[in-house]
Amino acid sequence: MDFNKVLENRYSVRDFKDVMVEDEKIEEILNAVKYAPTAKNTQCQEIYVLKSKEAIEKIRSVTNNAFNAPLVFITCANLERECHLKYPVRSFKETDVSIIQTYMMLKATELGLDSCWVCRFLPEEVKKAFDMPDNVEPLNLLLVGYRADGVEPNPRHFDRLNKEDYVKII
């Protein structure tokens, strides 16, 4: 799919068909990660792929924003690989993992899948539910699947600022 079409076609979907995403597509989404830039190339990502019935039930038990997605990725930072500047004090874990997730999300669109980026969860609850080690911090969820019949973009999707409102050419 043309890259502009990928960008234009994506919107957040919160109601999915009860159909599992093909393993080859899951693999392609995960492969997209290797092309992403990260600060100092530290690649601090850890990705949990929730596809079993048990795992999906678990994520739904800790957030109602997993909706009915058949496949959920939890994108996390491995704090042992995090790029952390001492001066000025700054961590790049959120930036790096968000870039990773963006690549995955756009790859999903290119594969004809639908998705929703979700942050409405308590990290400590997710950590506990999936028995994550101390050095792993869950940052985002990416819900993926095929949208249910009749799903349309939320009106908010079309509510976009004009370029003039946020671009300063100097």
Ligand X SMILES: Cc1cc2nc3c(=O)[nH]c(=O)nc-3n(C[C@H](O)[C@H](O)[C@H](O)COP(=O)(O)O)c2cc1C
Contact set with ligand X (CB under 6 A): 11-12, 14, 65, 116-120, 153-154, 156-157
The CB-of-23 to ligand X minimum distance in angstroms stands at 26
Residues 37, 9, 11, 122, CA torsion sign = negative
Query: Of 88 and 155, which CB lies nearer to ligand X in the complex structure?
Result: 155
Query: Of 119 and 122, which CB lies nearer to ligand X in the complex structure?
Result: 119
Give CA–CA dist 119/38, Å, rounded.
21
Query: Of 11 and 146, which CB lies nearer to ligand X in the complex structure?
Result: 11
Query: Of 83 and 106, which CB lies nearer to ligand X in the complex structure?
Result: 106
Residues 160, 11, 66, 134, CA torsion sign = negative
Q: Shortest Cβ contact with ligand X: which residue?
A: 120
The CB-of-17 to ligand X minimum distance in angstroms stands at 18
The CB-of-169 to ligand X minimum distance in angstroms stands at 25
Backbone angles phi, psi at 127, to 5 degrees: -55, -45
The CB-of-24 to ligand X minimum distance in angstroms stands at 25
Question: What amino acid occupies position 83?
Answer: C
Angle at 103 between CA 141 and CA 153, to 5 degrees: 65
Per the CB < 8 A criterion, the answer to whether 139 and 76 are in contact is yes
